[in-house]
């Protein structure tokens, strides 16, 4: 009966663990940057805690001979996990201020942020990892007819993890916010603790006897190497998949959730199959054919992501990923994930024989690989070789394990499988294949592509079109600067894009700083603006590679104008951090008393636009809104002091000659007067009380623009 209880416990435990991981990742990005590197850091710390918990839990149960004490320790671990809901958010928040002095993107910054994330998360992840050996000790090393208890609990945990991933991303955060979602998970962890304590009252004092029919573990170092290799390859591939499938699924939060859910559901299917077949499988472990299959399966995502594949839709700026793309991604990651779900518990059983301590050691070794995998994927493979070669190198890891297990006699099929993987890597193409004239750069944050000719040039970041050459981006600077009665001395542009707003601000002859998150983006400045070298050579112009919010926190400069142009679409993952009340509060601290902030809303559903505007208005009492010169989107000008009305001639008179020329460079009107007159005549009168009745200000805790599935599904 106890194994059934712990199956249920582990479903709930897996649910809570992935719920925490999803929210912790979002919180860490808010504090340390919305980058692939931060994904790798959080995932690695999470896996490090699980590995350490598995190892420590295995040692503890080896010393504890009382079933009651084991259940009590399990309850204590669940209570520790529950405490994380109130400890982790403030701990991560404290890290931003402490790391302000390190240069963005540097090795020192990544090491320092990883260290702080580890301090914040590791104790609770260790408690999560310790639950597996404790549960194995509580239910005994084998259950019913020699079937593996490892497979039993592994399947339960993966089932809960898959449900937790989807529930957190698609339902809970939208309903309850980030903190409310963590509190819900804490409540469930507390219930698990209570259930375990109830079971402890009925448990015998002695530990459950081992099944005499259970096989003894095999101390084969190749098995441990295989466990390390599967953890390393699978977790590195997850990081690669996130970037590789962005053009198909988009840069919305649901994309990451769908990739992770596809991985977990397929892993669940494999683990359930192993659970059903474990008694009949050979004790020698997975045969070479299994490693051959996994090496080939590892390359399927390269085929699915190839833009030449007929019938595949790109995400564009849709609100949800296309169903066809979701199916393609699931079919691409499913075979390898299912194989790993089958093979991993098989390797654990081969090493441990079902014993709790040895199983903990085996899972710890697998976890060690899972720690290093995301770091290698995010910091080495993606920036150095790109997506497809990275997958091939990881496929070689799996093929190499098969060769180590097979011996020379079994190498021939594995070599053939490796050749098939190499052929797929050579024949498939990435997003750059969509454009015959594409230029590509990679870094640890993103893959950036510049394509097109003349005024039709485009900028893609991880497959998503970021911006175009448009006079709207010129108005982002010229409007707030012209509305100032006193000449500005210093300005800030957050989000570089093609560099148009930065270039336009320098035309005013003021000290101009641009902040850009992705290192490769500013390197394309000259591709969009031939005079970029002259702009950058000016003594009053500089480009800083940093997270915009982090830059605001660590700088001591005061700016007369701040311009923000968040990346599209408004639903983009992490975009709420550039629309939230906390972000505007950080800008307010860096504006001069009569300074003006310009932020841009490209278009959003009414409730989301209202949330953006209310967040701005709560921090800046004076806000003016103008429809763009092209008739779509809103320029919002905000200040702590009234923004005085001015006529078109007055605005033009304040503009230097270079700024006037820049304003009309791309039209659509031939004179500065006509350009400004068109926009000023479209000023909106904002009914703030009406907005208050229909929406709440957007905050970091309630990112309503990013989480919208239920809201749109109900319509």
Q: What is the pTM of this model?
A: 0.90
Mean model confidence pLDDT for the chain? 89
Contact 318, 360 (CB under 8 A): no
Query: How much of the chain, in percent, has pLDDT values that exceed 90?
Result: 61
Opening angle at CA 68, ends 187 and 144, nearest 5: 90
Residue-wise pLDDT for 472-523, tens only, equals: 999 999 999 999 999 999 999 999 999 999 999 999 999 999 999 999 999 9
Looking at residue 553, what is its pLDDT?
Answer: 85
Residue 309's φ and ψ, nearest 5 degrees, are -65, 125
Q: Token digits for 644? A: 């005085």
Query: How much of the chain, in percent, has pLDDT values that exceed 70?
Result: 92
Looking at residue 510, what is its pLDDT?
Answer: 98
Three-state SS for 324? helix
Residue-wise pLDDT for 221-262, tens only, equals: 889 999 999 999 999 999 999 999 999 998 888 988 999 999
- C-alpha 563, offset from chain centre: 26
Residue-wise pLDDT for 533-580, tens only, equals: 999 999 999 999 988 988 898 889 999 999 999 988 899 988 999 999
Looking at residue 2, what is its pLDDT?
Answer: 56
Q: What count of residues does the chain have?
A: 715
Contact 503, 532 (CB under 8 A): yes
Place of tokens 């020698």: 284
Looking at residue 214, what is its pLDDT?
Answer: 46
Cα separation, 326 vs 442, whole angstroms? 25
Q: Strands 559-564 and 591-601: what pairing?
A: parallel
Which residue segments constitute the domains of the chain, with CATH numbers given?
Answer: 1-207 (1.20.1250), 220-434 (1.20.1250), 468-713 (3.40.50.150)
DSSP string, 401-426: HHHHHH-GGGHHHHHHHHHHHHHHHH
Looking at residue 405, what is its pLDDT?
Answer: 78
Cα separation, 585 vs 567, whole angstroms? 20
The average pLDDT across 70-85 equals: 93
Residue-wise pLDDT for 621-675, tens only, equals: 999 999 999 999 999 999 999 999 999 999 999 999 999 999 999 999 999 999 9
- C-alpha 498, offset from chain centre: 24
The average pLDDT across 354-360 equals: 73
Q: In this model, does residue 417 exceed pLDDT 70?
A: yes
Cα separation, 452 vs 437, whole angstroms? 7
Contact 672, 660 (CB under 8 A): yes
């Amino acid at each position: 009966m106890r194994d059934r209880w712990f199956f249920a416990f582990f479903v709930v435990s897996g649910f809570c663990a992935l719920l925490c991981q999803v929210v912790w990742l979002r919180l860490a990005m808010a504090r340390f940057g919305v980058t692939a590197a931060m994904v790798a850091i959080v995932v690695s710390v999470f896996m490090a805690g699980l590995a350490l918990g598995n190892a420590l839990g295995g040692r503890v149960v080896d010393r504890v001979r009382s079933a009651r004490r084991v259940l009590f320790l399990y309850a204590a671990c669940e209570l520790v996990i529950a405490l994380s809901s109130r400890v982790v958010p403030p701990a991560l928040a404290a890290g931003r201020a402490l790391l302000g002095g390190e240069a963005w993107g540097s090795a020192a910054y990544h090491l320092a942020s990883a260290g702080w994330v580890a301090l914040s998360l590791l104790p609770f992840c260790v408690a999560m990892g310790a639950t597996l050996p404790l549960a194995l000790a509580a239910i005994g090393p084998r259950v019913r007819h020699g079937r593996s208890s490892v497979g039993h609990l592994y399947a339960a945990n993966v089932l809960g993890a898959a449900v937790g991933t989807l529930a957190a991303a698609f339902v809970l955060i939208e309903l309850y916010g980030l903190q409310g979602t963590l509190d819900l998970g804490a409540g469930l962890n507390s219930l698990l603790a209570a259930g375990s304590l109830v079971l402890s009252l009925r448990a015998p004092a002695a530990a459950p006897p081992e099944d005499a029919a259970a096989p003894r573990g095999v101390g084969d170092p190749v098995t441990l190497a295989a466990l390390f290799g599967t953890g390393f390859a699978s977790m590195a591939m997850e990081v690669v998949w996130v970037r590789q499938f962005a053009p198909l699924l988009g840069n919305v939060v649901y994309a990451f959730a769908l990739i992770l859910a596809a991985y977990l559901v397929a892993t669940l299917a494999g683990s359930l199959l192993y659970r059903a077949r474990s008694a009949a499988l050979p004790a020698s472990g997975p045969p070479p054919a299994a490693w051959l299959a996994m090496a080939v399966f590892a390359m399927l995502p390269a085929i699915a992501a190839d833009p030449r594949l007929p019938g595949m839709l790109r995400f564009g700026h849709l609100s949800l990923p296309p169903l066809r793309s979701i199916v393609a991604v699931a079919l691409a990651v499913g075979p390898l994930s299912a194989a790993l779900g089958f093979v991993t518990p098989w390797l654990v059983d081969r090493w441990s024989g079902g014993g709790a301590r040895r199983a903990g050691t085996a899972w710890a070794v697998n976890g060690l690989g899972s720690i290093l995998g995301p770091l290698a994927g995010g910091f080495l493979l993606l920036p150095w070789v790109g997506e497809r070669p990275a997958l091939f190198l990881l496929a070689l890891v799996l093929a190499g394990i098969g060769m180590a297990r097979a011996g020379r006699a079994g190498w021939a099929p594995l070599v053939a499988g490796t050749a098939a993987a190499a052929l797929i890597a050579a024949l498939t193409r990435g997003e750059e294949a969509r454009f015959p004239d594409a230029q590509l750069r990679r870094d640890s944050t993103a893959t950036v592509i510049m394509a097109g000719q003349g005024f039709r040039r485009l900028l893609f970041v991880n497959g998503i079109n970021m911006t175009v050459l448009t006079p709207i981006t010129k108005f982002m600077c010229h409007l707030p600067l012209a509305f100032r009665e006193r000449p500005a001395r210093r300005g800030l542009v957050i989000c570089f894009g093609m560099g148009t707003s930065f270039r336009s601000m320098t035309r005013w002859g003021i000290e101009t700083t641009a902040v850009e998150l992705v290192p490769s983006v500013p390197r394309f400045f000259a591709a969009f603006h031939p005079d970029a070298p002259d702009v950058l050579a000016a003594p009053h112009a500089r480009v800083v590679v940093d997270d915009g919010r982090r830059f605001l926190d660590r700088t001591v400069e005061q700016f007369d104008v701040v311009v923000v142009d968040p990346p599209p679409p408004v639903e983009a993952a992490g975009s709420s951090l550039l629309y939230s009340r906390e972000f505007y509060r950080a800008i307010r601290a860096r504006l001069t008393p009569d300074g003006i902030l310009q932020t841009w809303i490209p278009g959003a559903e009414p409730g989301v636009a209202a949330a953006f505007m209310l967040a701005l208005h709560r921090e800046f009492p004076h806000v003016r809104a103008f429809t763009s010169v092209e008739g779509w989107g809103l320029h919002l000008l905000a200040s702590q002091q009234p923004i005085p009305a001015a006529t078109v001639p007055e605005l033009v008179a304040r503009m230097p000659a270079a700024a006037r020329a820049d304003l009309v460079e791309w039209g659509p009107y031939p004179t500065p007067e006509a350009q400004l007159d068109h926009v000023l005549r479209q000023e909106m009168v904002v009914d703030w009380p009406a907005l208050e009745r229909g929406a709440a200000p957007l905050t970091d805790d309630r990112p309503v623009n990013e989480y919208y599935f239920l809201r749109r599904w109900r319509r």
